[in-house]
Chain A
Amino acid sequence: GQQVMQIPQYQHVQEGEDFTTYCNSSTTLSNIQWYKQRPGGHPVFLIQLVKSGEVKKQKRLTFQFGEAKKNSSLHITATQTTDVGTYFCAGPYNTNAGKSTFGDGTTLTVKP
Chain B
Amino acid sequence: NAGVTQTPKFQVLKTGQSMTLQCAQDMNHEYMSWYRQDPGMGLRLIHYSVGAGITDQGEVPNGYNVSRSTTEDFPLRLLSAAPSQTSVYFCASRGLSGQETQYFGPGTRLLVL
Q: Which residues of A contact B (CB under 8 A)?
A: 6, 30-31, 33, 41-45, 48, 50, 88, 90, 92, 97-105, 107
Q: How far is the CA of A97 from the CA of B56 in the complex (A)?
A: 11
| B48, B97, B107: the one within 8 Å of A99 (CB) | B48
Q: How far is the CA of A50 from the CA of B44 in the complex (A)?
A: 23
Residues of chain A lying within 8 A (CB to CB) of residue B74: none
Residue B42 at the A interface, CB < 8 A? yes
| A30, A43, A100: the one within 8 Å of B45 (CB) | A100
Q: Which residues of B contact A (CB under 8 A)?
A: 31, 33, 35, 40-45, 48, 50, 56, 58-59, 90, 92, 96-107
Residues of chain A lying within 8 A (CB to CB) of residue B104: 42-44
| B43, B99, B103, B107: the one within 8 Å of A45 (CB) | B103
| B41, B48, B100, B106: the one within 8 Å of A104 (CB) | B41
| A31, A41, A102: the one within 8 Å of B43 (CB) | A102
The distance from the CB of B57 to the nearest CB of chain A, in whole angstroms, is 10
**A contact face: mostly helix, strand, loop, or mixed:** loop
Q: How far is the CA of A92 from the CA of B33 in the complex (A)?
A: 13
Asked if A42 and B107 sit within 8 Å, CB to CB, the answer is yes
Instruction: Please name the residue on chain B nearest to A91 by beta carbon.
Output: B98
Asked if A45 and B42 sit within 8 Å, CB to CB, the answer is no
Asked if A97 and B50 sit within 8 Å, CB to CB, the answer is yes
Asked if A103 and B42 sit within 8 Å, CB to CB, the answer is yes
Asked if A45 and B48 sit within 8 Å, CB to CB, the answer is no
The distance from the CB of A33 to the nearest CB of chain B, in whole angstroms, is 7
Residues of chain A lying within 8 A (CB to CB) of residue B50: 97-98
Asked if A31 and B99 sit within 8 Å, CB to CB, the answer is yes
Q: How far is the CA of A50 from the CA of B104 in the complex (A)?
A: 21
Residues of chain B lying within 8 A (CB to CB) of residue A105: 41-42
| B31, B41, B56, B90: the one within 8 Å of A42 (CB) | B90
Q: How far is the CA of A100 from the CA of B92 in the complex (A)?
A: 10
Residues of chain B lying within 8 A (CB to CB) of residue A101: 45, 59
